[in-house]
Structure 1
Amino acid sequence: LFSDRFRYVRQHFDALEQEHILPTVQDEYLYNLCRPERLLELVFGFVIYEDGTKKIARYQQYFAITKTLQRIRKPEHGKRPGGVIWHTQGSGKSLTMVLLAQAIALEKNIRNPKIILVTDRIDLDDQITRTFRKCGRPVENASTGQQLITLLESKSDAVITTIINKFDAAVRRLSQPLTSPDIFVLVDEGHRSQHGMFNIDMQKTLPNACYIAMTGTPLFKKDKSTATKFGGIIDSYTVDQAVKDKAVVPLLYEGRYAIQKVNEAPIDNYFTMISEPLTDYQKADLKRKFSRADQLNIAEQKIYAIAWDISRHYRDNWQGTPFKAQLVCQSKDAALRYKQFLDEIGLVSSELLISPPDDREGEESAFAKSSDRVKQFWDKMMNEHGTPKKYQDNLINRFKHSAQPEIMIVVDKLLTGFDEPKNTVLYLTRSLKGHTLLQAIARVNRVCPGKDFGYIVDYYGVLGELDEALELYSSLAEFDQADLMGTLADINEEIKKLPQKHSEVWDIFKTIKNRRDAEAYSQLLRDLAVRTHFYERLAQFAKTLKLAMSSLTFHQEVDAKTIDQYKDDLSFFLKLRSNVIQRYSDAVDYSQYEGQIQKLIDTHIQTDEVKVITDLVNIFDKDKFQAEVEKTEGASAKADKIASRTAKHISEKMDEDPAFYRKFSEMLKDTIREYEEHRISETQYLSRVRELMDAVLSHTDEAIPPALHGRDNAKAIYGLTVEGLAEKIQDTDTRTGIALQAALVIDDLIQAAVLDQGKPVVDWQYKSNVTGKLQIDIGDYLIDEVRDKYNLSLTFEEMDALAEKFIEVAKVRYR
């Protein structure tokens, strides 16, 4: 590890090892992860490739699998004990199943294991089958009861996937049960008593099998005692743990049930509320569209009002960002109405994904007939896509990979097993309870760059205002409160943090006496540590304000003057941030949330002063950079911009000529220090940094001999040699003469070793036969022509270190 690239830090760790320092928690974690037996175990059994992407088990997956293996190794009364693995949704449950199946297959104490993966729905069965195939694991899908029997009786070692109702057919066809204790049944979402691990047909077919239930939601209270008979909980990984680990994003809940009630009063009340920020022309256009609601019945008016609110909410907060939404409706007919009204309003794009007309969905009656409108829509989809599967696959593919649709409208489809990290907002317009509710809201908890939360916007009143413990709501009453910890948070709890986030930004500038002195803010942010605090606190303030601006309650409870103050301050601070990033050339990556901040600016801050941050202009582009500098007001600000951009250039080029760039880096630091200590004026500061920038760009100074002009690699070797001989030779002329000769000869040696017809040999930097020979040749030259010839007190270690520096420079320059 320390022999090549990190050799310079070896001394630090050697010294640290001699000290008596207590191990930290991080030290303990690293030791337990990297000790040889654990590392080999992880490499052997807990690494898989999914679609070419190498993945290693997370800690909860590792411990769930090792606990399961410990449990199943020794059969009890002819049967291996099983149990329940409860890992919250979004934490990699499908990959846990793949890893567990792999671990069982590799277990030495289990001969010829037969592994069956059981789900309760065809779409989940397909999803798990795809996951296994993506990971390169052999898998057979049993689509009929007879095929299931054939696969169970075969000697194939492929994993079998099937759905629960195939066991009913298997029981009728089997002459006698399969009694092997080496059959392992992994049941997805197996906590549901009507199927899963409690299914009678499955136990009749496989009486001695080991049953392991995999669930992403907690067990019902009433099922816990029954589950104990099957081995109880093997391992749990709760929502609360997953959020703390950042394996999923936290979910924020906002009740907007009041939107439905608005139609009980004149519909103009709602129009007034939503049109407040618009111009007169926009209000007139909106009024024309909104008058459509007068022609609708009460039920349709509610759908229309909610469709308006969804359109505005999504447009104002998410449109133009990568993030998408799902709208959950109570029936196919209602879903079709939402689609129609969203299209009429015209603010967002949407698609509707439903089951065939005769399949019951949502709150539809089993005896109700589908409307002609639903049948016509279905026929249109079949004409367009061909089959129900292609219809679903095409819409999902568009949602995942195209800008449109922005909103996917569903009834029951995609409420489980649908994983798309960009899916961020779930609009609920129907009742959901228990496991279905928990599975549905987890559709928006996947981690995605720039996504801080998933949002549940409830128009039905599933949880009202979320002011009670979750178990007290009828929709979640069947769970224990401890199991629901961290599932949802009220959006208002996050919004309450806004005043504090606002104050924390202003607190950075509390020493500024005149708040109108713009230059004072930039000067105070001269220190990188202070700027870093400013960037971080501003980001938190901006994100919290964006969250607040999306909430109906915030606008109802906070006065307009306070909201305007927040917006004005954000505008001021964003402009300041843009200026100081340019002034001090900060290489800060804001890509994860810059789009969201820009969305906030576009929607709520009407100003041209806040600029989108773009890449910094390189000082090599003289005309562009000069134009940028000229636009900067004040000699000090101009000098800061030149100094910081020059320092950035030096940092980027340091490895190409360490001695040269170190020298100018120190000169630049000295100049900045003199200005900060008021020893030079703004004009002198600007003049000096311009001179330093020009010297750095030309890559020369008076100390470099003319013989080296045009040979940049030799220049770098010359500088390093002068540094290396500084304490060995006092006479400057002698030192520079030796260094000049050494630079020319050693550069010739390097070129002879690494160039082929004037071009670098491919990957020579990684070939020890090339670099090793170079080390020897350069070392021999230093011994014979420098140390011995001039009788210098150079040690072998010093000459080796010099040779290594020369080769490191060559690796950068000749590539």
Structure 2
Amino acid sequence: MPAPGEHKTVQNRILQYAAEVGWSFVPRTEAEARRGFSFDSSIIAERAARASIYFNDVLYRKVKEFNPKYPEGEGALVGRLRRLQANIFGNREALDFLRNTGTFFCADENRELDLILIDYENIDRNVFEVTEEFYFHNGTFGNREDVVFLVNGIPVLMAECKNAIKDEAIAIGVDQIRRYHGETPELFVPQMVFTATEAIGFSYGATWNMVRRNIFNWKHEETGRLESKVKTFCDRRRVLGLLRHFIIFAEKDEDLNKYILRQHQTAAVERIICRCLDRGRTRGLVWHTQGSGKTFTMIKATEMLFKAPESEKPTILLMIDRNELEDQMLKNLAALGLGNVEHADSIRKLVGLLRADYRGIIVTTIQKFREMPERVNGRSNIYVLIDEAHRTTGGDLGNFLMAGLPEATYIGFTGTPIDKTAYGRGTFKTFGVDDPEGYLHKYSIRESIEDGTTLPLFYNLAPNEMLASPELMEKEFWSLVETEGVADIEELNKILDRAVNLKNFLKGDERVDWIARYVAEHYLQKVEPLGYKAFLVAVDRPACAKYKAALDKYLPPEYSEVVFTGNHNDSMELKNHHIDAQAEKQIRKDFARFGKLPKILIVTEKLLTGYDAPILYAMYLDKPMRDHTLLQAIARVNRPYENEAEEMVKPHGFVLDFVGIFDKLEKALAFDSDEVNAIVKDLKLLKVLFRSNMDEKAPRYLGLIREGFNDKDIDGLIEYFRDKERRKEFFREYKEIEMLYEIISPDAFLRPFLENYTTLSAIYDVVRKAYTRQVYVDRAFQKKTNELVQQHVGTGPIQAVADLVEINGDTIDLIKKKLGGDGTKVINLIKSIEKTAEENSDDPFLIAMAERARAVQESYEDRQTSTRDALKSLFSEIEMNEKRKKQQAEKGFDGLTFFVYRTLLDAGVSGAEEASGKIRAAFLDHPNWQKSEGELRELRKKVTFAIIPGEDDIDRVVQIVETLFSLLTKAYAIR
């Protein structure tokens, strides 16, 4: 039966489907010719290093068509593009060219003219081409992209194809693209987007942003359906829209970052534009959950609306909910190249701009509308985009805003719409009146979690003696009407200021000390071992100071920092925690980084909205909150986080509740029950899941241990897990159980499971060591599991799987005499050969032998080779190697020289011994031949001249050199 393959099942189909939606297929040979490959050399890398990554012919033709006065010759523009930096900054410049913001000097008009590279209005005037096996070599490294899409000769999109039956195929493809960025960054100067697919999934992202949380799945109705995914994602109009609008460069922490808007963002932007240009409807609500990219959606809608001819020179107000975000918004707008931007940082300036009928973008806050005159501007093409729109329902600010701009269109953005509030009409009634469902576009928490945009949240209640008094909570918080739908923390603080008895209870010295000790123990036992960080949320600023003093008794002082806004009239106790803006900025940056101090931030208001630190895992909550304020605060811990270097993947966010909010979850979060269930779940569910896994999944693996985990059991494990699918399933199930154990531990609940869990971990260790090529002992387990295995297994009866032996003349007899079944001997022998090759990495014979041993393992695991035949093949390899070593010793050659000597001898070259000596000297003269194209050329030349005296036929010499370097390249590439 035929099997699926990378080229047949994926690559060819992409090319076919792309052609069916208007992309012209260009065969590889034709593409290379058009890229300027020189075919007069036998060295592929040398040809590729001189090749362009552009289709020069069509690029020049379209440039002349779109720019009749363009004066340069055919290679000039390609030269400009090739001189761009091979990094994210060069990529940003390339996007400017693609967006037609580049220029050229026109002598006839004595001025700069726009350089048009793509006709976005008439897409059929453009040339859309797709090719495959797109090879490029920069003189040091060479890489080949599977599929590349070009618009007017410029490569803008690449696809990495993988075999559907390969484990973690898309992840491997993404890793390859990441490697391409490092080795051949020149490819990614013009390429803006990448995809990776194995015909089932279809992931995409922006080039120069390979962080896994910024790589997304192209959503379609069904799993699979490669045809539909390719045809929708690669739709020509959609690709042009992506290039023109939906890629953003923005600075974060002084670093340039690149982002691509996701499907829910692009859909929202398009609906916002339509609503703003529809004079019959003047309201709209964009309900996108916390952490789903509302800011970029808002920015991009602003840009497109401002540039739309139908807007007729509009005024667009960007209403930010906090002063500290205004500067970031201004930076992001500047990054888009928008010049008509004003910062209305005072009421007077805002009123002046509106009265003067300013046409452009105004960045301001809702607070600047306080006491705004009525009908300050009655124009209809004023568009007001309001971040965190629920805040406009607080007090009279919304009334001043809408009375001042009565004919404007209002688009609200929120992650937590409020339908019931003591302060105003509610988000739906204010912004959703023009839509039957109450919103213009929705991206729910449930969708966000399914997409991996955000993580689920788990909570746990602190011990009863630490919880806030239920009576005080009811009397001074829950029963107050004004707490319902409270829109921001400032309003919440005003309510809590009146809750004198409740605040005094929360700040009691004895209670603060108890909680500080509990938090310290919890962090050290459950959070720090996972590598993550935490917030401690106190009821007010004095409580923050108290918690800092208490926490310092149980943790090193440098573990925690207090971050709040200081006032001139603060007490000395509070002034001790005042920090300047620069110090706070550094604390924010360090907290967000793995391995940096501080590990815990003590906060009450600041950082509870807007601050994004994905490494934040735990929130210790000791401040009464509800509705929007609660959801926005706990959303700080729901950001995905991955750290490949430390093999960390954040499973969810966690909240430890010291107030009792989550005991009354339906009262605390007045939202749709389905939404609430998607937001937070009791940590007890993790214990249920752990028990379920240990009861249902673990027994079939534990049942493989029948002899007290002796050598017979190890033989049984090696035989049972020869099947790759079994191993894959076991590794997945074990890692799920391990993560649950790490999160729950330490806990008395785990005591009945410890023996079985330890045995299961030992089974994983055995199988991993047997079948994983690279063994990272220090990262085999999470930290707590590693300690458990060391304690209980390290001194136990389990024998090493990889019982390594030296590869020499005694190896075969030694292996035969060892205890254990033949399967174990196969694994031990393969591992021993691999280790010997690693320790002798300058010996190509051993390197090649290790590769052949791995081929034996592959065949053995696929059950194409019996255990007996596998052993026989490996023994044969060792015997051949011993013969080779004797011959090599007799000649007095090292490994490389003898390898060359045997190759020349097998090829029938006379004078092979003398030539081998010269060739060895040439290799010593050129140690960087694998990395430097120049050294490789010189080395090949010297090798050729060393062989010529013993061979008359020059064509045979060329063939022998090709063979020799092919063997050596393959051997050394295996390392």
Question: What TM-score, normalized to structure 1?
Answer: 0.68
2:133 match: 2
Q: Does 1:116 align with 2:289?
A: no
Mapped to 1, the partners of 2:732 and 2:827 lie a distance apart of 22
2:419 match: 220
Mapped to 2, the partners of 1:803 and 1:113 lie a distance apart of 67
Equivalent residue letter for 1:335 = C
Mapped to 2, the partners of 1:672 and 1:547 lie a distance apart of 34
Greater length-normalized contact order (CA 8 Å, ≥ 6 residues apart): 1
More displaced 10-residue stretch of structure 1: 452-461 or 88-97: 88-97
Mapped to 2, the partners of 1:590 and 1:710 lie a distance apart of 33
Equivalent residue letter for 2:293 = G
Aligned equivalent of 1:236, options 442, 455, 461: 442
Aligned pairs for 1:544-693 within 5 A: 544-549=740-745, 555=748, 558=749, 563-587=750-774, 594=781, 597-599=782-784, 601-602=786-787, 607=792, 609=794, 634=819, 637=824, 640-644=827-831, 646=833, 677=866, 679=868, 685=871, 689=874, 692=877
Does structure 1 retain, via aligned residues, the 8 Å contact 2:380–2:409? no
Aligned equivalent of 2:458, options 243, 252, 255: 252
Mapped to 1, the partners of 2:386 and 2:561 lie a distance apart of 32
2:589 match: 397
Task: State the SS of the aligned residue for 2:624.
Answer: coil
Aligned pairs for 1:708-727 within 5 A: none
State the 1:412 CA deviation.
1.7
Does structure 2 retain, via aligned residues, the 8 Å contact 1:317–1:599? no
Mapped to 1, the partners of 2:302 and 2:315 lie a distance apart of 10
Does structure 2 retain, via aligned residues, the 8 Å contact 1:86–1:235? yes
Aligned equivalent of 1:352, options 562, 571, 577: 562
Q: Does 1:48 align with 2:252?
A: no
Q: Does 1:417 align with 2:610?
A: yes
Q: Does 1:533 align with 2:729?
A: yes
Q: Does 1:379 align with 2:575?
A: yes
Mapped to 1, the partners of 2:780 and 2:688 lie a distance apart of 21
1:331 match: 540
2:516 match: 307
Going from structure 1 to structure 2, the CA distance change for 1:381 and 1:158 (only over 3 Å counts) comes to farther
Q: What is the CA deviation profile of residues 412-432 of structure 1, one whole-angstrom value per residue up to 9, with x for unaligned ones?
A: 222111110111111111210
1:99 match: 300
State the 1:667 CA deviation.
6.0
Q: What is the CA deviation profile of residues 191-220 of structure 1, one whole-angstrom value per residue up to 9, with x for unaligned ones?
A: 334359981222233333332211122332
Does structure 2 retain, via aligned residues, the 8 Å contact 1:120–1:195? no
Mapped to 2, the partners of 1:811 and 1:147 lie a distance apart of 69
Task: State the SS of the aligned residue for 1:497.
Answer: helix
Q: What is the CA deviation profile of residues 304-343 of structure 1, one whole-angstrom value per residue up to 9, with x for unaligned ones?
A: 2222221111111122543111111222233222222212
Does structure 2 retain, via aligned residues, the 8 Å contact 1:582–1:641? no
Q: Does 1:543 align with 2:739?
A: yes
Q: What is the CA deviation profile of residues 444-465 of structure 1, one whole-angstrom value per residue up to 9, with x for unaligned ones?
A: 001112310100111111121x
Aligned pairs for 1:147-296 within 5 A: 147-149=349-351, 159-168=361-370, 171-172=372-373, 176-177=376-377, 179-181=379-381, 183-195=382-394, 199-220=398-419, 222-229=426-433, 232-256=438-462, 258-260=464-466
Mapped to 1, the partners of 2:519 and 2:377 lie a distance apart of 54
Does structure 1 retain, via aligned residues, the 8 Å contact 2:860–2:867? no
State the 1:786 CA deviation.
9.2
Q: Does 1:406 align with 2:599?
A: yes
Q: What is the CA deviation profile of residues 133-165 of structure 1, one whole-angstrom value per residue up to 9, with x for unaligned ones?
A: 567766543211233345557898874321111
Q: What is the CA deviation profile of residues 768-809 of structure 1, one whole-angstrom value per residue up to 9, with x for unaligned ones?
A: xx9xx99xx9xxx9xxx99999xxxxxxxxx99x98997797
State the 1:356 CA deviation.
2.8
State the 1:243 CA deviation.
0.9
Decide which structure has greater helix share: 1
Q: Does 1:442 align with 2:635?
A: yes
Task: State the SS of the aligned residue for 1:570.
Answer: helix
State the 1:248 CA deviation.
1.2
Query: Aligned pairs, how many?
Result: 688
1:476 match: 669
State the 1:233 CA deviation.
1.4
Going from structure 1 to structure 2, the CA distance change for 1:165 and 1:444 (only over 3 Å counts) comes to same
Q: Which runs of 5+ in 1 are unaligned?
A: 14-20, 265-295, 359-369, 722-732, 790-798
Equivalent residue letter for 1:229 = V
Mapped to 1, the partners of 2:674 and 2:400 lie a distance apart of 33
State the 1:254 CA deviation.
0.9
Does structure 2 retain, via aligned residues, the 8 Å contact 1:49–1:136? no
More displaced 10-residue stretch of structure 1: 578-587 or 246-255: 578-587
Going from structure 1 to structure 2, the CA distance change for 1:211 and 1:582 (only over 3 Å counts) comes to same
Equivalent residue letter for 2:541 = K
Mapped to 1, the partners of 2:676 and 2:319 lie a distance apart of 26
Mapped to 2, the partners of 1:452 and 1:241 lie a distance apart of 17
Mapped to 2, the partners of 1:431 and 1:305 lie a distance apart of 18
State the 1:496 CA deviation.
0.2
2:549 match: 340
Instruction: State the Cα RMSD in Å.
Output: 5.7
State the 1:115 CA deviation.
3.0
Task: State the SS of the aligned residue for 1:118.
Answer: strand
2:271 match: 67
State the 1:392 CA deviation.
3.6
Does structure 1 retain, via aligned residues, the 8 Å contact 2:830–2:854? no
Aligned pairs for 1:427-506 within 5 A: 427-449=620-642, 450=648, 451-464=650-663, 470=665, 473-477=666-670, 479-503=671-695, 504-506=697-699
Mapped to 1, the partners of 2:877 and 2:766 lie a distance apart of 23
Task: State the SS of the aligned residue for 1:192.
Answer: helix
Task: State the SS of the aligned residue for 1:496.
Answer: helix
State the 1:543 CA deviation.
1.4
State the 1:251 CA deviation.
0.3
2:279 match: 76
Equivalent residue letter for 2:577 = M
Does structure 1 retain, via aligned residues, the 8 Å contact 2:702–2:756? no
Aligned pairs for 1:127-138 within 5 A: 127-132=328-333
Q: Does 1:322 align with 2:322?
A: no
State the 1:11 CA deviation.
14
Q: Which runs of 5+ in 2 are unaligned?
A: 1-131, 136-142, 148-159, 164-199, 201-221, 421-425, 471-504, 643-647
Mapped to 1, the partners of 2:388 and 2:831 lie a distance apart of 57
More displaced 10-residue stretch of structure 1: 519-528 or 141-150: 519-528
Q: What is the CA deviation profile of residues 357-413 of structure 1, one whole-angstrom value per residue up to 9, with x for unaligned ones?
A: 58xxxxxxxxxxx8xxx611232234xx4x4x3454344234234633222111222
1:292 match: none
Task: State the SS of the aligned residue for 1:177.
Answer: coil
Going from structure 1 to structure 2, the CA distance change for 1:129 and 1:217 (only over 3 Å counts) comes to farther
State the 1:76 CA deviation.
1.4
Task: State the SS of the aligned residue for 2:522.
Answer: helix
Task: State the SS of the aligned residue for 2:370.
Answer: helix
